[in-house]
Structure 1
Amino acid sequence: MVELTETGIDGLDSILNGGIVRNSTTLVVGTPGAGKSILGLQFIYNGVKEFDERGIFLSFEENREDLTAAAESIGFDQWSEFEDNGDIKVYDKRRLLQENSFTDTLDVLLEDIQDGEYDRLVLDSLAMFELFFDDDAERRTYLLKFTDILKQNGLTSLLTNEQATVFPDNDIGLENFLTDGNIYLIQTPTESGVNRYVWVAKMRKQAIETDIFPMEITHGGIQVHDNASAFSMMNDSESPL
């Protein structure tokens, strides 16, 4: 029986048939503004609030104060409280980029990762993580090492990454193949605003719904809706793609 970690995100766990495989790494990909960081914040926050699972948030893009403000502005009102009591541990860009190499940065993280007190981890984002490395071979080696460490220490992890195109036809990186799951957050412009969608393209060890589902970002975070056929983007002749 495969153990699952519920995200607590309305509709997403249904698509995943219960949640993300425990001790796995999942890549969350999307264009800028698609909701990747919000999904990561929500995954960590829900872990503490709903499932008594503590979380680590690694932000290569935000200061701790800005991250806290972002979390609370979207409706995660107890974020500061959870930080203060140690249920959420944040490493911000000032701390993560303080070292000269990823090996040095990893040494800083290992105490929290290896003590067994945390269940979830988010790395936001791989685009900044890659600044440590000179080439794809080195990046691949360290990404494999890092994901292996996360799994060995019982962490269920989300790694965010940006892509330039709505669909990843020609924008597939090594990360997509090195992680256990791929979730794409998609946004398309309309005359009245933006339509948002989520597509779970891959999840090892479990059956998933692979349709594209509409989602929205509201106060309280991301909500995924189950009416996939009404929002089909692959076969709709009126799709803007």
Structure 2
Amino acid sequence: MTEQTRTGIEGLDSILGGGIVDNATVLISGNPGTGKSILGLQYIYNGATEFDEKGIYLSFEENAEDIAQAAESIGFEDWRELVDDDQILIYDKQELLRHNDFNATLDRLLAAFEETEYERLVLDSLTMFELFFENEQEKRTYLLKFSDILKANGLTSLLIAEQAAVFPEQDIGLENFLTDGNIYLIQTPTESGVNRYIWVAKMRKQDIETDIFPMDIDEGGITVHERAAGFSMMGGQSDSFPGE
């Protein structure tokens, strides 16, 4: 039986058939504001508080204080305590961008991976990570290398990526083909705000629900509702689209 890492996010583990396959690398994509970073924070926090699994949070965009404030703003009030107790290891932009050289950064991360026992990792964001590389060939080489390193060190990882297009099939990048799974976060405007959705498009070695499901972001993070939305990535919204 394939071992899985539970996200602890209500509704999502059910869609995934229990969780994410251990040591998999999963791409989390969406437009700005869709909840990608919240999903990453929640995955790391739930690991430490619910499953006794330590997590590493890499951020090329925020400093450690910003990350802590974001976590506390969604109800993870003991985030700083978990960091102080080494249940969560933070590498923020000041650490990761110190040398402006990927090889130096990778060497430092390798040392951390090998010297500590962590099970989960979030990279926020892959978009900034890719700025290290000058061309597609170099990017592909290092993405494969980095993914292999994560797997070799027993890390089940989420790589967060900004998506320019509203709909996923319009913005498929190289990273989609180099990861074990793809999860898209989608939001559509309504008269009263936005509707939010999650789509698990691909998971290798797993039987998954490939419908699009509504989700909410509230105190405690993301909740996924296990009733498929009347929504098609190819055709836009249907007559049964929620919020109509």
TM-score range, shorter chain: over 0.9
- 2:231 corresponds to which residue? 233
Does the 8 Å CA contact 2:230/2:239 hold for their aligned counterparts? no
Q: What is the CA–CA distance in structure 1 between the aligned matches of 2:240 and 2:21, rounded to whole Å?
A: 36
Q: Distance in 1 between the 2:213 and 2:170 partners?
A: 22
Match of 2:199, SS? strand
CA contact (8 A) 2:230 2:240 kept: no
Consecutive unaligned residues of structure 1, counting only runs of 5 or more, are: none
The TM-score normalised by the length of structure 2 is 0.95
Q: How many residues align?
A: 238
Q: Does 1:175 align with 2:196?
A: no
The letter of the residue matching 2:181 is G
Q: Name the SS of the counterpart of 1:169 in structure 2.
A: helix
Q: How far off its partner does 1:168 sit?
A: 1.6
**Does residue 117 of the first structure (1) align with residue 120 of the second (2)?**
no
Distance 1:117-1:152 versus aligned 2 partners, 3 A rule: same
* Rounded Cα–Cα distance in structure 1 between residues aligned with 2:111 and 2:127: 24
1:85 corresponds to 2:85: yes
Counterpart for residue 205 of structure 1: 205
1:165, distance to aligned residue in structure 2 (A): 1.6
Give the alignment of 1:156-195 within 5 angstroms: 156-195=156-195
Superposition deviation, residue 238 in structure 1: 7.2
How far, CA to CA, are the matches of 2:100 and 2:164 in structure 1? 28
1:110-134 per-residue CA deviation (whole Å, 9 max, x = no partner) reads 1221125100000000110011110
SS in 1 for 2:231: coil
Corresponding residue of 2:62: 62
8 Å Cα contact 2:62/2:92 also seen in 1: yes
| CA drift at 1:100 | 2.6
Quick one: distance in 2 between partners of 1:218 and 1:102? 36
Residues in 2 aligned to 1:14 and 1:165: alpha-carbon distance in whole angstroms: 28
Cα separation, 1, equivalents of 2:195 and 2:170: 22
For residues 55 and 43 of structure 2, the distance between their equivalents in structure 1, rounded to whole angstroms, comes to 9
Deviation of the 1:72 alpha carbon? 0.7
Moved more, 48-57 or 163-172: 163-172
**Residues 114-168 of structure 1, C-alpha deviations (whole Å, 9 max, x = no match):** 1251000000001100111101110110010000000001000000001112222
Deviation at 1:169, TM superposition (A): 1.8
| Runs ≥4 residues deviating over 6 A | none
Q: Secondary structure at the match of 1:185?
A: strand
Deviations 1:72-109 (A, max 9, x none): 11111111010001010000011101113111101111
2:75 aligned with 1:75: yes
Matches of 2:118 and 2:49, distance apart in 1: 14
CA contact 1:44–1:121 (8 Å) conserved in 2: yes
CA distance in 1, matches of 2:76, 2:166: 28
Answer yes or no: is the 8 Å Cα contact 1:112–1:118 preserved in 2. no
State the TM-score, normalized to the length of structure 1.
Answer: 0.96
Which secondary structure state, in structure 2, belongs to the residue aligned with residue 226 of structure 1? coil
Q: Please state whether the residue corresponding to 1:40 is helix, strand or coil.
A: helix
5+ unaligned residues in a row in structure 2: which ranges? none
The root-mean-square deviation of aligned C-alpha atoms, in Å, is: 1.2
CA distance in structure 1 between the partners assigned to 2:230 and 2:114 by the alignment? 43
Percentage of matched positions with identical amino acids: 68
Amino acid at match of 1:25: T
Q: After superposing the two structures, state which structure 1 stretch, 91-100 or 10-19, moved more.
A: 91-100
SS at the partner of 1:223? strand
